[in-house]
Amino acid sequence: MRSFCQPAYSCLLSLLLVLLSPFTAANNLCKSNSNEPQESATVQYVYDGDTLILKDGRKLRLIGIDAPEMAHESNPAEPLATAARDFVRQQLRSNSKIQLQYDNNQQDQYGRTLAHVFLANGENLNAQLLKKGLAALYIWPPNTTYAHCYEQAQRDAIQRQQGLWQLPAYAAQPLSQPAAQQKLPRRYRGTLKNVQRTRQGLDLLLIDGQDSLKLYIPQSALVYFDLSSLDAMRDKALIVQGITHCKPQKTQCSLRLSHPSQIQFD
């Protein structure tokens, strides 16, 4: 997905790189950065496509992606959950040793370790899942080290209709069909009409005929957005990606924007 950045020449350079070499970001820029904090670890169990259990007992959550959930309790498995889990198992079959690269936050609110995972051959596992369409992009600041690379990996999967992106439910949906019980981020299509500052951050309104979806950027996330670019998107057709939250009878739905990777021009 296209991000909005400053200064303007930086955006232009990024766009030219994408157009001239569509697979460069996914294949090269996701390589491990040796300057970042790293740690070797051994995988004991693959829980699902984005969650691993390490030999030392830690639960590891892959940064920047959200994979379909396996069946648990009374909830059935989500589409391609088994395929995502089995892909990770296959990547680890010959060598369960991985390299963890940490970002700004090394733990989430549930006590899980957060990391970018690199395989013995140097491949970025997070990016591989996105390229296969076995996970959706889910950038959660401040863990944004590989955000642009992961963005390109998902874009490639969408263009090739890989994995999730060949399923009707994951195509860009009209605003009349927000998902009430979604867990993976979905994509919605509409035209931006409002951009309004509030005490809590920024409110935006996406419309499609008589239907609308409230978008909001919390104050803490505004630092990641170029506000002039957001304002310039008024009356433009957009696709936004995220998890909708709807009030009873879907009378009002909203979607939180935490990072520019959630927005692209249609």
Enumerate the active-site residues.
Answer: 61, 69, 112
- CA-based nearest residue to 203, from 231, 184, 175, 226: 231
CB 120 within 8 A of CB 97: yes
CB 244 within 8 A of CB 127: no
* Encoded amino acid at 170, one letter: Y
Burial 113-146 (b: 16+ CB within 10 A, else e): bbbbbbbeeebbbbbbbbbbbbbbbbbbeebbbb
Q: How far apart are CA 114 and CA 225, in angstroms?
A: 23
One-character DSSP codes across 9-51:
HHHHHHHHHHHH-TTHIIIIITS--TTS-EEEEEEEEEEETTE
DSSP-assigned beta bridge partners for residue 216: 203, 256
What are the backbone dihedrals phi and psi of residue 25, each rounded to the nearest 5 degrees, phi first? Answer: -60, -45
